[in-house]
Amino acid sequence: MAPTKHVLKLSAIVEFFSDSDEKRLIARGENAVESNHIKSFHFVPELLLIRGEVHASMRDRIYNVEVNLFKDGAIKDASCTCHRGQYLCHHVAAVCLFGHHNISVTDVECRWAAKKSKEEEVKIIDVIYMGKGHVSCDTRLTEAEITNFHTTLQQYGTAVGFTWLLGPEPTTVLNLITDVEDFIFSEAYFAAGDKQKCFLEKNEGFYNLENIKAVQWVTLTKAKPSESLLKKPNGLVGDNAIIEIKCPYKFREKLMTEELQTDHSYIVYCDGDELVLNKNHEYYHQIQGNLTICDRELCYLFIWTPPRKFSFEVYRDKDWIVNLKLLENFYLQEYLSYIISNAYDV
């Protein structure tokens, strides 16, 4: 049997995605095809035009893709209705790969659509499990009896679950953390002229810890971009110190003083009988960043495991401040631009 001659050659697809930053899209496109995300496909040979519909990987959304070919089979241009699709995206790669395997030079105009699954009737849980109504008491209790029961339980403190269960509903309304993905797909983000500014303004002040008095919480509501990259310290001590608490999972069932004799990969390690600070560890940079941002001189580092707990004092390194500019440049030029450019490529 003679081999099939493809209208859209694999070499043409590779060439179209030849940029080193875009080669990864071919792999993602393959995954989309293998995951049955191609919902429809239409090839018009007279126009050398391919149209396809691709289901988003993580959302209930369909993107429309168009690919125009040259007569020699090379890709002329392509577009997608996703945010990234005016340049290149994995939805385009998926349609191209699907076309490579499903169009031959002998094909006339062809269409393909995924079969729709039979819709199942949605039932609520009460319909599925129609059991008899449960009654815990022989008679229906009055509000006064319930209140009296709750008052009696209160003498046992919070050890009895019913004390909490029968308590009054909280009067304060929690401000839930905004989902970043939902915000990026919001109308406000679409309409914003300066999307970077819009993103930064929206992500200020999510956490309100004013009513939590266990520690003096740190809230950087007017943080610079470099400060936003740093994890806030667990708390403040006096006017010149912070607290940082670590619970290393890998040492959960081991005696740290013995393990740290040979394992020098953690934030601290043992050199004989002396506990030494590992300045190459990421926690060291986290602590120095927090000391710099909070303008404090000392960090009380508490390390806890079930078998053992101990503390270590870490002092501020004045020379570390040069790293803030590096963090700010990375955040603005690399991280934030990547998030924005890839927000709709899902």
**Residue with tokens 């009513």, as numbered in its chain:** 211
pLDDT beyond 60 at 306: yes
Q: Are residues 323 and 219 in the same domain?
A: yes
Q: Are residues 220 and 330 in the same domain?
A: yes
Q: Are residues 100 and 222 in the same domain?
A: no
Q: Is residue 27 part of a domain?
A: yes
pLDDT, position 127:
64
Of 113, 137, 167, the last residue of a domain is 113
Q: Are residues 212 and 88 in the same domain?
A: no
Q: What share of the chain in percent tops pLDDT 70?
A: 66
Domains: count for the chain = 2
Q: Distance between terminal CA atoms of the chain?
A: 40
Rounded CA-CA distance 85/63 in Å is 9
Q: Between 24-34 and 90-102, two packed helices, what is the crossing angle to 10 degrees?
A: 60
Q: Is residue 79 part of a domain?
A: yes
**pLDDT tens digits for range 39-70:** 999 998 888 899 999 988 766 788 999 999 98
pLDDT higher for 86 or 256? Answer: 256
What value does the mean pLDDT take over residues 157-169? 65
Q: Is residue 176 part of a domain?
A: no
What value does the mean pLDDT take over residues 321-346? 74
Q: Are residues 105 and 212 in the same domain?
A: no
Q: Is residue 200 part of a domain?
A: no
Rounded CA-CA distance 311/234 in Å is 14
Rounded CA-CA distance 106/306 in Å is 71
**HEC-encoded secondary structure of 260-326:** HHHCCCCCEEEECCEEEECCCCHHHHHHHHHHHHHCCCEEEEEEECCCCEEEEEEECCHHHHHHHHH
Of 55, 82, 113, the last residue of a domain is 113
Of 67, 89, 113, the last residue of a domain is 113
Q: Is residue 178 part of a domain?
A: no
pLDDT, position 51:
93
Q: Are residues 235 and 109 in the same domain?
A: no
Please give the backbone phi and psi of residue 151, each rounded to the nearest 5 degrees, phi first.
-60, -40
Contact, 75 vs 49, CB < 8 A?
Answer: no
pLDDT, position 73:
85
Query: Range of 57's domain?
Result: 10-113
**pLDDT tens digits for range 190-217:** 787 776 666 656 655 443 444 433 344 4
Q: Is residue 223 part of a domain?
A: yes
The pTM for the full model equals 0.38
Q: Are residues 225 and 103 in the same domain?
A: no
What value does the mean pLDDT take over residues 292-298? 88
